[in-house]
Chain A
């Protein structure tokens, strides 16, 4: 009774403390929500403003031809826009850099038209100029990506031609790995990056004198090729996994690519550390699963053995064999007795 009374005595103080904690917690969450909302609104506002500014550039740079005035003849003439200078507006405004003004990366002098000829020699920005050493991008570990890329077969073989932009078009690039739970969307998007050169003779030829290999024939050894191509990214087998990166960037020489079925079709599947890494971490956060590969969307034959199913099946097998043994023993004992 004494304990109960003591508890009752202090219950008012406890309630006050708990209420205070709750109020502080709610206030902070409200503040975060408000700041999150304002950041979103801020981005939308920025996008709107920049779109208006960009429209001046994209008026020509989204078309296959543009109009300019010839002062000598005093007539408007149409010129063909080089295809690599044409921007797909929808793709740009769906990309990671959609909030940018053209002149955030390109010279302000491009605002004047006709553009000055020396702008052709404008030095292009590098990804690391913005993304390097910035705490905002710490979680992406751009420095780690750069280091891996420098060791990759692309960087070592193609020297100066090898840049981030070779695979990640700054106008269109959109993060998928680590940004969505839809594995097939990640696979489709990321494979398209590789195939844009490796399945395109012209683009491949721009980078190397080598004859473009036939991807389908080169992967003849792979059973159910179509399913593998549809379900997994090229980088799954063609990179060296790095735990500190969402996507490994050390593209290996083809002789070092994974070619052993067991690497993936096993309990400790290699895919857990590559394609499924992000999903597994997310699901672990969300559901507390320690074996989230059991989730239905991520299914690899051989990698999804269920612990409880194994226990149940082995137990049943033991029961059957045990039952047979007991039955056999009884038959022999009774037969001997009868004899």
Chain B
């Protein structure tokens, strides 16, 4: 949907926005409680261990439900097309986008892949979102659920105990999600104004030129 009077395009359907805000809240709660559990006994913990475990469990389950919403909403609204990219020439496109962020942006260069109804994400966004939402988050959710039922885990896998293997994947995925959050939040400030992308994610409308 395009509003020609205001040069705005309707980019984020309600259901995607609801998913996104819930996802942000849940992930934030999980990162905080997860970090607290990881820091137990180090002197840097800021919350009771038992409480952080409970909160982490609850938000982990909520995140799973929300991930199901993400999948349903994406297929239902057709938003899934934004995550699909053609492999041919994609690396070159990512390099162009990377050069824009590292050099072009400081020279007031034009955005190599401006936002349109058909292309919501630039190549770097596409790549990172696919990795995070279709690889890392599923791993995080699966290993998180395995923690809720640890007796189902393998006794031994790749020479280590099942719990350890699960823990390594879970902590690593959680850590990568945390890194993603920092980068994602920062790149959201690269819009028309510092806050325009954040506002778009609330209203659903994105300003185009």
- A residues with a Cβ closer than 8 A to B are 223-224, 226-227, 230, 260-262, 265-269, 296-297, 299, 301-302, 304-305, 313, 316-317, 320-321, 324, 327-328, 330-331, 334, 338
CB distance from B97 to the nearest CB of A (A): 14
Is there contact, CB below 8 Å, between B179 and A320?
yes
Band of interface residues on B: 20 to 34
Is there contact, CB below 8 Å, between A299 and B161?
yes
> What are the 9 A-B residue pairs with the smallest beta carbon separation, nearest first?
A266-B41, A296-B160, A299-B164, A267-B41, A266-B40, A262-B49, A324-B186, A227-B150, A299-B161
Is there contact, CB below 8 Å, between B151 and A330?
no
Interchain CA distance A223-B151 in the complex, whole Å: 12
Interchain CA distance A267-B41 in the complex, whole Å: 6
Query: Which of B49, B108, B179 sits near A316, CB closer than 8 Å?
Result: B179
Instruction: Identify 17 new A-B residue pairs, CB closer than 8 A, beyond the known A226-B151, A321-B182.
Output: A223-B53, A224-B150, A230-B151, A261-B50, A262-B40, A265-B37, A265-B49, A266-B40, A266-B41, A267-B41, A296-B159, A297-B161, A299-B160, A299-B163, A299-B167, A317-B182, A331-B105
Q: In chain B, residues 131-174, which have Cβ atoms closer than 8 Å to a Cβ of chain A?
A: 147, 149-151, 159-161, 163-164, 167
Interchain CA distance A269-B40 in the complex, whole Å: 10
Query: Which of B167, B178, B183 sits near A301, CB closer than 8 Å?
Result: B167
Query: Which of B101, B151, B175, B178 sits near A224, CB closer than 8 Å?
Result: B151
Interchain CA distance A299-B161 in the complex, whole Å: 7
Query: Which of B40, B150, B161, B178 sits near A296, CB closer than 8 Å?
Result: B161
Query: Which of A262, A304, A305, A317 sits near B179, CB closer than 8 Å?
Result: A317
Determine the chain A residues whose CB is within 8 A of the CB of B182 once the complex forms.
317, 320-321, 324
**Smallest CB-CB separation from B166: which chain A residue?**
A301
Determine the chain B residues whose CB is within 8 A of the CB of A266 once the complex forms.
40-41
Query: Which of B106, B151, B179 sits near A334, CB closer than 8 Å?
Result: B106
Main secondary structure of the interface of B (DSSP, over half): helix
Does B42 touch A at the CB level, under 8 Å?
yes
Given contacts A313-B175, A324-B183, A331-B106, contact A302 B38 (CB under 8 A): yes
Residue with the highest number of chain A CB atoms closer than 10 Å, among B42, B164, B167, B189: B164
Interchain CA distance A297-B160 in the complex, whole Å: 7
Is there contact, CB below 8 Å, between B175 and A304?
no
**Smallest CB-CB separation from A312: which chain B residue?**
B175
Query: Which of A261, A267, A304, A330 sits near B164, CB closer than 8 Å?
Result: A304
Determine the chain B residues whose CB is within 8 A of the CB of A260 once the complex forms.
49-50
Determine the chain A residues whose CB is within 8 A of the CB of B160 once the complex forms.
296, 299
Is there contact, CB below 8 Å, between B163 and A301?
yes
Interchain CA distance A299-B186 in the complex, whole Å: 37
Is there contact, CB below 8 Å, between B53 and A261?
yes
Residue with the highest number of chain B CB atoms closer than 10 Å, among A260, A302, A331: A302
Given contacts A316-B179, A317-B179, contact A262 B161 (CB under 8 A): no
Is there contact, CB below 8 Å, between B164 and A302?
no
**Smallest CB-CB separation from B189: which chain A residue?**
A328
Determine the chain B residues whose CB is within 8 A of the CB of A331 once the complex forms.
105-106, 190
Interchain CA distance A301-B147 in the complex, whole Å: 10
Determine the chain A residues whose CB is within 8 A of the CB of B179 once the complex forms.
316-317, 320
Query: Which of B106, B161, B186 sits near A330, CB closer than 8 Å?
Result: B106
Residue with the highest number of chain B CB atoms closer than 10 Å, among A261, A268, A338: A261
Q: In chain B, residues 35-71, which have Cβ atoms closer than 8 Å to a Cβ of chain A?
A: 37-38, 40-42, 49-50, 53
Interchain CA distance A268-B40 in the complex, whole Å: 9
CB distance from A326 to the nearest CB of B (A): 11
Interchain CA distance A266-B45 in the complex, whole Å: 11
**Smallest CB-CB separation from A338: which chain B residue?**
B108
Interchain CA distance A3-B38 in the complex, whole Å: 59
Interchain CA distance A334-B105 in the complex, whole Å: 10
Q: Provide a sorted-by-A list of 19 A–B residue pairs whose CB atoms are within 8 angstroms.
A: A226-B151, A227-B150, A227-B151, A262-B49, A265-B37, A265-B40, A266-B41, A267-B42, A269-B41, A299-B164, A301-B163, A302-B37, A302-B41, A304-B167, A320-B183, A324-B182, A328-B186, A330-B106, A338-B108
